[in-house]
Amino acid sequence: MLNTRFVTGTPVWVDMCAPDLGDVRGFYQELFGWELQQGGEEFGGYSQYRLGGRTAAGAMAIPAEDAPPSWTVYFRTPDVDGTVKAAEQAGGGTLYEAVDVGDLGRMAGITDSAGVPFSVWQQGQLKGLDVVNEPGSLVWTELYTPDVPQAVAFYGSVFGWGTSESSFPGGSYTMVHPADGTEDDMFGGVVPLASDPSEAGAGAYWLPYFQVEDCDEAVAKARRSGGTVRMEPISMAGVGRFAKLADPAGARFAVLQPSPPGEPMEA
C-alpha cells in the first residue's frame, strides 16, 4: 500500500477540480471529515483538503468548459523535464508544460500512450501529501486502460515500474510497484477498461481510492450528500470492501475498507 516515503514513481499527491468547490465542500466533509483550506492568490487560489490538520488532497476551481470535474493522480519524479521527454518518447503527450510552483516544487501534466491524463511532481519544499493509507486519505490507485500490456510498457519506460499478477476467480489483476520496491510496495493496479461495466462507457482514466472505516456507511453518506454510487459495495478476500462513487460535480473516485491484516487474497 501507499506510504509517505514517496520514492520515484509513486503517487505523492492527488487533487480534484470542479467549477465551484463550494458545491462539493460539504460532500467531502461529510464523507471523509475533510476541511477545505482556501488557497491564496499567489498560487491561483489552489486549495487543500485537510484531515486533522494534515493535507489529504488538493482542490482547484476550474470552469467546466476548461476541464471536466475529475480527480488527478501525481507521481514523484526527480526530474520533471526528463520525465516529460521520456513520456513523449514512449508514445505519450503533454497536457501542460513543466512549471515551477514557487519554491514548493515543479510539475507537469502528461497523457500516457492511451491518452490518460496524470501529473508528475518534482519535490521542492513540498514533499507530498501529509497523510495516506489511513481513514480519510489516499490508499490505492487504479488505471483503467484499453490495453494493459501497452500501459505497463509505457509506465515501465517512464518510471521503471515493476509488476505482479494476482489471480482471482475468472481472471487476474496486474499490480504495480516502484522500480526499487518489492511486492510489499504495491500502490496501484492496471485494469482492462472493457472488463468493468461501471467504467467501460466512461473512458480510460486513473481512479483514486480513499480509505474508509465502513464502506457501506460511506456509500450511504455519499448518497445523502448528493453523490452518485457508480458501483455498489463488493467484498474481496485479502483486499476488503470497496465501492465506486462520484461527487456532486461528477468527479469519480472509489472508497476502500481494507481487509484485516493477514487475510489472504482470493486465489
Cβ(192)–Cβ(127) below 8 Å: no
Residue 214: which pLDDT band, with cuts at 50, 70 and 90? very high
pLDDT in tens, 134-147: 999 999 999 999 99
- 262 pLDDT exceeds 70? no
Residue 267: which pLDDT band, with cuts at 50, 70 and 90? very low
- pTM assigned to the model: 0.95
The Cβ of residue 189 has, within 10 Å, a number of other Cβ atoms equal to 21
- 6 pLDDT exceeds 60? yes
For the record, the C-alpha cell of 95 comes out as 497536457
- Residue appearing with cell numbers 526499487: 180
The strand pairing partners of 71, in sequence order, are 16
Beta strands 11-18 and 54-61 are parallel
Residue 44: which pLDDT band, with cuts at 50, 70 and 90? confident
- 253 pLDDT exceeds 50? yes
pLDDT in tens, 146-175: 999 999 999 999 999 999 988 776 778 999
What is 138-258's CATH superfamily?
A: 2,3-Dihydroxybiphenyl 1,2-Dioxygenase, domain 1 (3.10.180.10)
- 206 pLDDT exceeds 80? yes
Average pLDDT, the chain: 93
- Residue appearing with cell numbers 492511451: 114
Kindly report the backbone phi and psi dihedral angles of residue 218, in degrees, each rounded to the nearest multiple of 5, phi listed first. Answer: -65, -40
pLDDT average, residue stretch 64-86: 97
pLDDT average, residue stretch 219-235: 97
Distance separating alpha carbons of residues 122 and 72, to the nearest angstrom:
16
Out of 120-134, 190-204, 213-227, pick the least confident. Answer: 190-204
Distance separating alpha carbons of residues 63 and 55, to the nearest angstrom:
24
* 14 Cα distance to chain centroid: 6
Cβ(40)–Cβ(14) below 8 Å: no
Beta strands 205-211 and 252-258 are parallel
Confidence (pLDDT) at 266: 54
pLDDT in tens, 48-64: 999 999 999 999 999 99
Distance separating alpha carbons of residues 78 and 64, to the nearest angstrom:
32
